[in-house]
């Protein structure tokens, strides 16, 4: 490493808006199988509609109702588990919503290859429920979260919901201390029915929480100019 590289890296690190040391390595991820960019990401006119992403859409309950209620927004809803995705895709076909794009893929690889910097208005991550003994699987603990923030527009939001109190406590701490984001933590209303998991937990009288994180103006990541090459 030359002196110049060291100086450049130091400058880069000091201008970052967050405290995450370990960098995500998008160049190591190959495109998902049968990958193709949805036409709305290629069509400049369609891009005037805000683009929302849902990660881990399950059987699509939230995605279908959100897209029906917001015809002026595009929703890309990503689910990697085949049987859940197939149930979702079947409903999506029946409802034929022009602004809903169901995607069967791992969200990390798909977002790396499909989404431009600062192009997303909002990201929903609803009841991700990773294995509880594996904190590396929590979204705000992952280096990928920096990449996800780089894809958000300034003022854009990430909405995370969970019924696991320890997950929410850690997410709030990571959002504030590592990612330096303004946050709002609030309880989910007991009559909310956004997703299948939310309905199940609230029916058992379990508490559910939601965390809304906003990307401030001028927020800088290491991926603000990074686009996948083919």
Ligand X SMILES: C[S@@+](CC[C@H](N)C(=O)[O-])C[C@H]1O[C@@H](n2cnc3c(N)ncnc32)[C@H](O)[C@@H]1O
Do 141 and 174 form a contact (C-beta atoms < 8 A)?
Answer: yes
195 binds ligand X (CB under 6 A): yes
Q: Which value, in Å, is the radius of gyration of the alpha carbons in the chain?
A: 18
Q: Is 53 in the site for ligand X (CB under 6 A)?
A: no
The sheet that has 120-126: what strands, in order across it? 100-104, 74-79, 51-55, 120-126, 152-162, 209-214, 183-187
CA neighbours closer than 13 Å in the CB half-sphere of residue 186: 8
- CA–CA separation, 73 vs 70, rounded Å? 6
Nearest 10 degrees: CA dihedral of 163, 165, 167, 170? 150
In order, the DSSP letters of 116-136 are -TT-EEEEEEE-----TT-GG
Q: Which CB sits closer to ligand X, 104 or 219? A: 104
Contacts (CB under 6 A) with ligand X, residues 127-156? 127-129
| Total residues in contact with ligand X, by rule CB under 6 A | 20
Instruction: Tell me whether residue 56 or residue 102 sits nearer to ligand X (CB atom).
Output: 56
78 is a site residue for ligand X (CB under 6 A): yes
Shortest Cβ 140–ligand X spacing (Å):
14
Q: Which part of the chain contacts ligand X (CB under 6 A), choosing from 32-40, 74-82, 175-183, 214-222?
A: 74-82
For ligand X, give the closer residue by CB, 147 or 197: 197
Examine residue 58 and tell whether it contacts ligand X (CB under 6 A): yes
In this chain, which stretch among 10-18, 65-73, 120-128, 165-173 interacts with ligand X, using CB under 6 A? 120-128
Q: Which residue is nearest to ligand X (CB)?
A: 56
Do residues 216 and 181 lie in contact, with contact meaning Cβ atoms separated by under 8 Å? yes
Q: In the bound complex, what is the minimum distance in angstroms from residue 126's beta carbon to ligand X? A: 4
- Which of 26, 56, 102, 156 is in the footprint of ligand X by CB under 6 A? 56
Computed from CA positions of residues 63, 65, 70, 72, in that sequence, does the dihedral angle turn out positive or negative?
Answer: positive
Residues making contact with ligand X (CB under 6 A): 55-58, 78-81, 84, 106-108, 126-129, 195-198
């Amino acid at each position: 490493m030359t002196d110049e590289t060291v100086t450049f890296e130091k400058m880069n690190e000091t201008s970052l808006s967050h405290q995450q040391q370990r960098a995500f390595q998008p160049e190591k991820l190959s495109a998902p199988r049968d990958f193709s960019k949805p036409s709305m990401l290629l069509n400049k006119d369609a891009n005037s509609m805000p683009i929302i992403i849902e990660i881990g859409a399950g059987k699509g309950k939230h995605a279908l109702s959100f897209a029906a209620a917001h015809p002026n927004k595009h929703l890309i809803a990503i689910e990697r588990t085949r049987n859940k995705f197939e149930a979702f895709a079947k409903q999506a076909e029946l409802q034929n919503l022009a602004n809903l794009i169901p995607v069967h893929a791992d969200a990390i690889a798909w977002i790396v290859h499909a989404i431009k910097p600062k192009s997303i208005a909002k990201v929903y991550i609803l009841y991700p429920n990773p294995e509880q003994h594996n904190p590396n699987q929590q979204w705000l603990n992952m280096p990928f979260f920096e990449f996800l923030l780089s894809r958000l527009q300034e003022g854009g939001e990430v909405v995370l919901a969970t019924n696991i109190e320890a997950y929410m406590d850690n997410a709030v701490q990571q959002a504030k201390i590592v990612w330096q984001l303004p946050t709002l933590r609030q309880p989910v209303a007991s009559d909310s029915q956004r997703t299948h998991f939310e309905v199940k937990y609230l029916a058992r009288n379990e508490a559910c929480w939601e965390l809304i994180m906003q990307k401030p103006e001028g927020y800088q990541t290491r991926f603000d100019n990074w686009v996948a090459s083919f």
